[in-house]
Amino acid sequence: MNRGLLIAIILCALPAYAGPVEDAIEERIARVGEVCVEGLDCATATPSLVGGGADDIEGYYSTSCAACHAMGIANAPKFGDASQWSERVDKGRDVLYNSVLSGLGTMPARGTCGDCSDDDLKAIVDYMLDALE
């Protein structure tokens, strides 16, 4: 077979072969969120994770809480570490809800999820406490 013809066939076949690979790359580097400017239609939508399922709650935890709670930064109790949460759990969920809503120590009010509703924040607290069981 002619060498030039073989190269042409390979080059023509590459885009079809690379499709799934390119799709996987695009999925990995896709934007995590979007920006909405006040006055546009998207500004009327209020995101909420309540009722959205465990994946949504885990996602909000990962983007808003894990920065401190995964490593215990600034005395934040580590995710899943029952010994660090025991005193807090003994005070009850309502006290914990109030702590995230109002702030406590170095944690600002609403943690770092300023767009979360009160119910969203409570769901994240529940997610973190459920990890202790």
Would 14 be classed as within a structural domain? no
- pTM for the model stands at 0.60
**Interval 18-30: pLDDT, tens:** 556 677 777 778 7
CATH of residue 57's domain is: 1.10.760.10
Asked, for residue 68, whether it belongs to a domain, the answer is: yes
36 found inside a domain: no
The reply to whether 13 falls in a domain is no
Domain span including residue 72: 48-130
What is the C-alpha to C-alpha distance for residues 76 and 65, in angstroms, rounded to an integer?
A: 10
Residue 71, beta-bridge partner list: none
In sequence order, the β-bridge partners of residue 107 are 104
Let me know: does 23 contact 91? Beta carbons within 8 Å.
Answer: no
What are the distances in angstroms from CA 120 to CA 19, 26, 57, 92, 103?
38, 30, 8, 18, 15
Question: How many residues are there in the chain?
Answer: 133
pLDDT of residue 113: 85
* pLDDT tens-digit map of 54-95: 557 888 888 889 889 999 988 899 999 999 999 999 999 999
Alpha-carbon gap, residue 63 to 52, rounded angstroms:
16
The residue with greater pLDDT, 54 or 37, is 37
Higher pLDDT, 113 or 1: 113
pLDDT in tens, 55-66: 578 888 888 898
Q: Note the helical H segments in the chain.
A: 3-28, 54-64, 66-69, 82-90, 93-102, 118-130
Q: Kindly state the percentage of the chain with pLDDT values over 90.
A: 34
Residue 11 located in a structural domain: no
Q: Report the pLDDT value the prediction gives residue 6, as an integer from 0 to 100.
A: 67
Query: What mean pLDDT is reported for the chain?
Result: 80
In a domain, 37, yes or no: no
Yes or no: say if 89 and 100 are a contact pair by the CB < 8 Å rule: no
- Using DSSP's 3-state secondary structure scheme, residue 104 falls into strand
Distance CA 100, CA 49 (A): 16
- Residue 115: phi and psi, rounded to 5, are -90, -5
Domains in the chain: how many in total? 1
Report yes or no on 63 lying in a domain.
Answer: yes
